[in-house]
Structure 1
Amino acid sequence: MPFPLLEEGDFFPENLLKIQGFRLNPTLIWDDEMAVLIDTGIPGQLEQIRLAMSEAGVSFDKLKAVILTHQDLDHIGSLPEILNQSNNNIEVYAHAHDKPYIEGTLPLLKTDPNKMSKEQWAALPEQMKFLYKSPPKAKVDQTLEDGQELSYCGGIQIIFTPGHTPGHISLYLKQSKTLVAGDAMVVADGVLQGPVPQTTPDMKTAINSLKKFLHLDIETVICYHGGLCNITEKKQLENLVK
């Protein structure tokens, strides 16, 4: 039985989670049966997520799945708190290449203290040092593959977009023609831009990953950093690939 269409406003990038000058945009989609959260902010943002859901008219108890676009600290941060506070058996999804980092089997690629110079480590605030040493971790219940489709909320297509991390994924919400890009792209001053070089270890692969968006019928993009961007013509994406 098909779920109701994803209506405009069934995500909450307008409820921005802000930390140290960076605005984070976890995305919520829902229908009459359930809600799905895409990315979870940094550690300690559970209450902000609860509030954002409440303002959108969605009960926290309706949350039944979390999809992680990748392993970075600002995307997985509040996942353990969400799982601990939920009365549901929430399914956690991520790509297999990032799974061991999310589960804590391997240290997070970009915040591993052992890979930092003494100067870099000394420059960090004490709170960040604690997080780098003891990053959040949680079990990934199901791994996702390129082209896979989840039936939730009218259909969620998985697009494997490595480069920013080895297991980075983006999500295409079919019925609303919305692309949830994670960190594959960013929005700056209302303009869609490519991945950020400073936080993208493999820029060549990351740019090549953007080609996968060109065949999709996209009307709106949600970037984790920057929020919403309406796509008026395909050239906005084509220029990034060039």
Structure 2
Amino acid sequence: MNITDKIKMLEIPVKINGNQNMIYPVILVDGNSTILVDTGYPNQLAQLKQAFKAENISFNLLNSIIITHQDIDHVGNLMSIKKEASKPIDILVHEVEAPYIEGSKLPVKLALLESRLESLTEEMKLIYQGFKNFYNNLHININSTLTDNQVLPYCGGITVIFTPGHTPGHICLYHKASKTLIAGDCLGIENGELVTSSESINYDQDLYIKSLEKLSSYDINTVICYHGGLYEGNVSQRIKELVKK
């Protein structure tokens, strides 16, 4: 889906607990640069390629990937893409998040499951083992680390907004020219309304609320939520309402 002529929202179907859902990665297209923001769950490479094709963008043009944060549904196809790419792919993440993705720090959700291992149900132990196997095989070298307020040279300028809380190094991306926010998991959509990320899956709730307050200061007309898709309206006002809850 075209958000602007340079920002495309992908729609990738996924089954979660037997229910059909969607995730919404983003493609940024600017001249010779084709940038994917987040990569889906593991084993979704074929669906990613199909989504590129639906947007009339050649997957072979992909040259950079921006990861909003470490969670498995965002980094799931990093290795598959790097192995299949016909040319080097630059991987960009926030400097705080990089060690979790490179493997020198244990991803926070995996660490949480590990700390509760003895009390987990058999089903959750299987999920834990799947997470552990995945991250043990995620051997990614980060080409470039990002910092707060850094302006990337794509699409006339994409601002990196450091929004920790959901994870330690979560980022959002802001395209000032179109007033579009790529929110990662900082925000979601339920029943057509913009909502917060659940406290139960946030690394640090106090940090998360401060990040929402930070986002409320931006002039935003459109939000792309990784879980939920597109939201348009008086976004800043809605975020202020969410902070007060």
TM (normalized to structure 1)?
Answer: 0.90
Contact 2:215/2:236, CA 8 A, preserved across alignment: no
Helix, strand or coil: the match of 2:109?
coil
Retained in 2: the 8 A contact 1:186–1:224? yes
1:84-233 map, 5 Å = 84-112=83-111, 114-120=114-120, 122-124=122-124, 126=126, 129-135=129-135, 136-232=138-234
> What secondary structure is seen at the aligned counterpart in 2 of 1:154?
coil
- Among 3, 8, 11, the alignment partner of 2:8 is 11
Whether the 8 Å CA contact 2:222–2:235 is kept in 1: the answer is no
Q: Which residue of 2 aligns with 1:56?
A: 55
Shift of 1:224: 1.0
Give the structure 1 partner of residue 30 of structure 2: 31
Q: Distance in 2 between matches of 1:180 and 1:91?
A: 19
Could you list the per-position Cα deviations for residues 170-212 of structure 1 after superposition, in whole angstroms to 9, with x for gaps in the alignment?
0002222210111111111110011211110211110111122
Distance 1:233 1:95, change over 3 A: closer
**Residue 153 to residue 62, structure 1, CA distance change in 2 (3 Å):** farther
Query: Distance in 2 between the 1:81 and 1:228 partners?
Result: 27
Note closer, same or farther for the CA distance 1:78–1:216 as it changes in structure 2 (3 Å cut). same
Work out the CA distance in 1 between the residues paired with 2:191 and 2:5: 22
* Structure 2 residue aligned with 1:3: none
Q: List, as ranges, runs of 4+ consecutive aligned residues in structure 1 with deviation greater than 6 Å.
A: none
Identity among equivalent pairs (%): 36
Alignment partners' CA distance in 1, 2:91 and 2:48: 17
Unaligned ranges ≥5, structure 1: 1-5
* Cα root mean square deviation, aligned: 2.1
Secondary structure, counterpart of 2:100 in structure 1: helix
Structure 2 residue runs of 5 or longer lacking an equivalent are none
Q: Distance in 2 between matches of 1:128 and 1:62?
A: 35
* Higher RCO (CA 8 Å, separation ≥ 6 residues): 1
Which residue type is aligned with residue 133 of structure 1? N
Q: State the number of aligned residues.
A: 237
Q: Supply the distance in 2 between the matched residues of 1:19 and 1:91 (Cα, whole angstroms).
A: 29
Aligned partner of residue 11 in structure 1, secondary structure? strand
